[in-house]
């Protein structure tokens, strides 16, 4: 009988450690995310299963070009995936489908070279906004079909969940993501 209780105690210990490890990983390091919609085509498709890195932004600031998951500012229970194009303190100007960024390094503006976009550009938006501290400007890669900062404004940093790091599904398109360089 004593052996049985010792074995049972060992099983309970292993179970508690496993549950604690899963809890820590899931709530502080990575979380799964299922892409819903076509706003990030051609780079992300409806049904893509991603892993979101929640640790990186605890160690450094978000960077332009990174694809992130965040809480939609209009409804905290809804999560979006979009690309960062504007950083805190920058001026974002969109005209004829071209995004211009003005900042301390480029006071007259720098056009973004967005090689990751598909053929469907957005030639209808005319935006001119200056971001405050801790605000980001988010755009979908499929601009004509994306509900993004052009509609609901800058994203507060507090709403950022993490950066898209891996595509796990579909298995034939498993990928590790890198931010484009500008």
For residue range 126-154, what is the model confidence (pLDDT) as tens digits?
888 899 999 999 998 888 888 888 888 89
Please indicate, yes or no, if residue 182 is contained in any of the structural domains.
no
- Total domain count for the chain? 1
Q: 7, 36, 77, 82: which is the annotated catalytic residue?
A: 82
Q: 7, 36, 39, 181: which is the annotated catalytic residue?
A: 39
Please indicate, yes or no, if residue 69 is contained in any of the structural domains.
yes
Please indicate, yes or no, if residue 79 is contained in any of the structural domains.
yes
The answer to whether the peptide bond before residue 163 is cis (omega within 30 degrees of 0) is no
pLDDT tens digits, 149-161: 888 889 999 999 8
Distance between start and end Cα atoms, the chain: 68
CATH for 85: 2.10.109.10
Residue 39 falls in the annotated catalytic set: yes
Please indicate, yes or no, if residue 181 is contained in any of the structural domains.
no
Q: Which domain holds residue 83?
A: 2-176
Query: pTM for this structure?
Result: 0.76
Residue 36 falls in the annotated catalytic set: no
The answer to whether the peptide bond before residue 42 is cis (omega within 30 degrees of 0) is yes
């Amino acid at each position: 009988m004593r052996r049985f209780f010792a074995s049972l105690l060992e099983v309970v210990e292993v179970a508690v450690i496993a549950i604690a490890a899963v809890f820590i990983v899931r709530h502080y390091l990575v979380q799964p995310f299922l892409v819903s919609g076509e706003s990030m085509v051609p780079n992300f498709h409806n049904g893509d299963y991603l892993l979101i890195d929640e640790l990186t932004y605890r160690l450094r600031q978000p960077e332009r070009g990174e694809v992130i998951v965040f809480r939609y500012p209009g409804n905290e229970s809804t999560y979006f995936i979009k690309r960062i194009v504007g950083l805190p303190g920058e001026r974002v100007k969109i005209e004829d489908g071209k995004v211009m960024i003005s900042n301390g390094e480029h006071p007259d503006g720098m056009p973004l070279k967005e090689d990751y976009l598909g053929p469907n550009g957005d030639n209808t938006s005319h935006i001119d906004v200056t971001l405050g501290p801790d605000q980001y400007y988010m755009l979908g890669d499929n601009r004509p079909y994306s509900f993004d900062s052009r509609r609901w404004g800058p994203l507060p940093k507090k709403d950022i969940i993490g950066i898209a790091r891996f595509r796990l599904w579909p298995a034939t398109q498993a990928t590790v993501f890198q931010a484009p360089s500008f």
